[in-house]
Amino acid sequence: MKTLRDQCLLGARLSGEILLDCHAHIGRGADYVIPDGDPEALASEMNRLNIRGAFVFQFTGIQTGETTIGNDIVADACRRVPGRFMGMTMVNPVFERDVLPELERCFGLGFVGIKLITHYQGYPEDGPLFERILGFAHERGLPVLNHAWGPKLESWLKTFPKVQFICGHWDPGRAELVRAYENLWVCTCLPIAHESFERGMASLRPDRVMWGSDMSDLQFGCGLGPILLARVSDAIKRRVIGLNMLELLETCGIAVPDGW
Ligand SMILES: [Zn+2]
Percent of the chain at pLDDT > 90 equals 84
Mean pLDDT on 132-136: 98
Examine the pLDDT at 134 and tell me if it is beyond 60: yes
Q: What is the pTM of this model?
A: 0.95
Side-chain-side CA neighbours of 168 within 13 Å: the count stands at 21
Average pLDDT, the chain: 93
φ, ψ of residue 2 to 5 degrees: the values are: -70, 145
Side-chain-side CA neighbours of 260 within 13 Å: the count stands at 13
For 33-88, the pLDDT digits (tens) are: 787 789 999 999 999 999 999 999 998 887 778 899 999 999 999 999 999 999 99
Is residue 49 one of the residues assigned to a domain?
yes
CA separation for the pair 35, 109 (Å, rounded): 27
Mean pLDDT on 100-112: 97
Least confident of 67-76, 107-116, 212-221: 212-221
**22 CA to centre of ligand 1 in angstroms:** 10
CA separation for the pair 105, 174 (Å, rounded): 33
Is residue 104 one of the residues assigned to a domain?
yes
Is residue 94 one of the residues assigned to a domain?
yes
**59 CA to centre of ligand 1 in angstroms:** 8
**2 CA to centre of ligand 1 in angstroms:** 32
Mean pLDDT on 159-174: 96
**189 CA to centre of ligand 1 in angstroms:** 8
CA separation for the pair 137, 76 (Å, rounded): 22
**258 CA to centre of ligand 1 in angstroms:** 24
Ion ligand 1 residue ranges (Cβ < 5 Å): 214
| Structural domains in the chain (count) | 1
**219 CA to centre of ligand 1 in angstroms:** 12
Is residue 259 one of the residues assigned to a domain?
no
pLDDT value at residue 84: 94
Is residue 257 one of the residues assigned to a domain?
no
CA separation for the pair 258, 260 (Å, rounded): 7
**23 CA to centre of ligand 1 in angstroms:** 6
**212 CA to centre of ligand 1 in angstroms:** 9
**116 CA to centre of ligand 1 in angstroms:** 10
Is residue 258 one of the residues assigned to a domain?
no
pLDDT value at residue 29: 74
Is residue 48 one of the residues assigned to a domain?
yes
CA separation for the pair 155, 128 (Å, rounded): 13
**1 CA to centre of ligand 1 in angstroms:** 34
Examine the pLDDT at 143 and tell me if it is beyond 60: yes
pLDDT value at residue 123: 94
**51 CA to centre of ligand 1 in angstroms:** 18
**154 CA to centre of ligand 1 in angstroms:** 23
Is residue 87 one of the residues assigned to a domain?
yes
Examine the pLDDT at 194 and tell me if it is beyond 80: no
pLDDT value at residue 195: 86
Q: Which domain holds residue 173?
A: 4-8+18-252
CATH number, domain of 72, equals 3.20.20.140
**165 CA to centre of ligand 1 in angstroms:** 16
